[in-house]
Amino acid sequence: MNRRMFLAACAAGAVSAQTGRKKNVLFLAADDMNNALGCYGHKVVKSPNIDRLAARGVRFDRAYCQFPLCGPSRASLMTGKRPDVTKVLGNNIDFRDHLPDTVTLPELFKNNGWYAAREGKMFHMNVPGEVTLPRFQDERSWHHSVSPGGPEAKTPGELHRLSPPGTQFGMQWLPAATGDGQSDSNAAERAIALLEKHRNEPFFLGVGFLRPHLPFVAPAKFYDRYPLDTIPLPENRAGDLDDIPAAAKGVRPFLWNHMGMSERQIREARRGYYASTSFMDEQLGRVLDALERLKLAENTIVVFWGDHGWNLGEHTRWQKMSLMEDSARVPLIVSAPGSKGNGKSCMSLVEFVDLYPTLAELCGLKAPGDLEGQSMARLLEDPARPFKKAAFTQIAYEDITGRAMRTARYRYIRWEGKGGGEELYDHRTDAGEFTNLALQPSAKGVLEQQRKMFDAGWRAARA
């Protein structure tokens, strides 16, 4: 099938043959969610609802965010443009200050007859969801826009703190008596009400869950699923950080060396993350159940994504803002009814900027011409086909810029500014990224090849 025939087929498929209606989109996001999920092969985390979504959709095993921080990542995904264009290089920056006329992903659907609504975090907002400036949720993108709060925002005195007092971005956890009324359960309940109310019209519904973002507040029953003595410690090597540039270690330096936590505290922190993930998974499952109960599943494209990765002690680092695999790689599942690839995994390199053109194509909409991703629709039909040659991630802090390129085999990182340098990792022999080959003369040829690809940029990496 040539490209013209494929696009014609997608346009025809944008209207369900069963219902004669435009396809709906259910857009599910998790905050600070890495790939520690059952469907991605994690041996400890229990995520039955995300797993069942993966079983009926395409699970992307090599998906990457454009910036491992909430605000920049979400601005990039929702506009289909990379951080160099959005100019969002930190949280609480409004992309409209730089791109006032940009049509966002939900806004495209809103402008074309879909009911566009969000419950929870889609663009950046304060966490956990108590009060947020409306402009950071881009009210223009939605007919309905709500950030449901919860009691976890009001219990700082009850939280167990793991990292030393005074440490910025401390690790905090709390086994709550119940999940009723928490931000994520409220978001699920309100999203279900919207599904019921708007079931007879095409909709783009964004549901943004706050967990497993800190603090790790989840009902005690989810903590009970993870006895502390079953929580594995991260695998690290002595001298692991000796061969990386100083600029890499200058990004939030208090997040390295396990933030001063003991082995028991490390297990408690990982346990809190797992429990929060399972709690979020249960809320996501409630929304999926409602979709099926209302007989909307066969006419709804479901997308699940986590906004960036999250370190759980790998390389002795915690949280985000790293350019290594654990921080740049993200979970991404797309379930499009009738797609031939459903139930399969995809090893092709994809990026968050690819979601916007993908959903536009699947729903027969003309995407803006200035998007910087490419449609993954063909991968939903044939997950084994080749796609991009590389995926790109970046960060910025102080006067330092870091940029990473992930190819099928290698990760190449370039740091510019004080303490700058290069990193190169061979994922065929070093999946944990412990040995920086950029410093080894034997890797000179590979390093030159990666530099050349990197300098050619993302346009040259397109399929």
Q: Is the pLDDT of residue 391 over 80?
A: yes
**Direct distance between the N- and C-terminal alpha carbons of the chain, in angstroms, rounded to an integer:** 17
Q: How far apart are CA 33 and CA 358, in angstroms?
A: 22
Instruction: Provide the whole-model pTM.
Output: 0.94
Q: Is the pLDDT of residue 192 over 60?
A: yes
Active-site pick, 10, 65, 124, 363? 124
Check: CB of residue 423 under 8 Å from CB of residue 413.
yes
Q: At what angle do helices 355-362 and 70-79 cross, to 10 degrees?
A: 30
- Between 317 and 135, the more confident residue is 317
Per-position b or e across 250-286, b if 16+ CB within 10 A of its CB? bbbebbbebbebeeebbbbbbbbbbbbbbbbbbbbbb
Q: What is the mean pLDDT of residues 364-377?
A: 98
- 70 catalytic? Reply is yes
Confidence of residue 156 (pLDDT cuts 50, 70, 90): low
The string of DSSP letters for 224-260 reads HTS-GGGPPPPP--TTGGGGS-HHHHTSSGGGSGGGG
- Residue 363: its pLDDT value, please? 98
Q: At what angle do helices 48-55 and 263-293 cross, to 10 degrees?
A: 50
Dihedral, 114, 118, 289, 35 alpha carbons, nearest 10: 120
Active-site pick, 39, 70, 346, 363? 70
- Residue 7: its pLDDT value, please? 45
Which domains does the chain possess?
3-389 (3.40.720.10)
Q: Is the pLDDT of residue 212 over 60?
A: yes
- 198 catalytic? Reply is no
Q: Is the pLDDT of residue 390 over 90?
A: yes
Q: Report pLDDT digits (tens) over 93-149.
A: 999 999 999 999 999 999 999 999 999 999 987 554 444 555 567 889 999 999 887
Which of 77-91, 157-171, 221-235, 343-357 shows the lowest per-residue confidence on average (mean pLDDT)?
157-171
Query: What percent of the chain stands above pLDDT 90?
Result: 82
- Between 59 and 178, the more confident residue is 59
Q: Is the pLDDT of residue 17 over 70?
A: no
Nearest by Cα to 145 from 155, 157, 136: 136
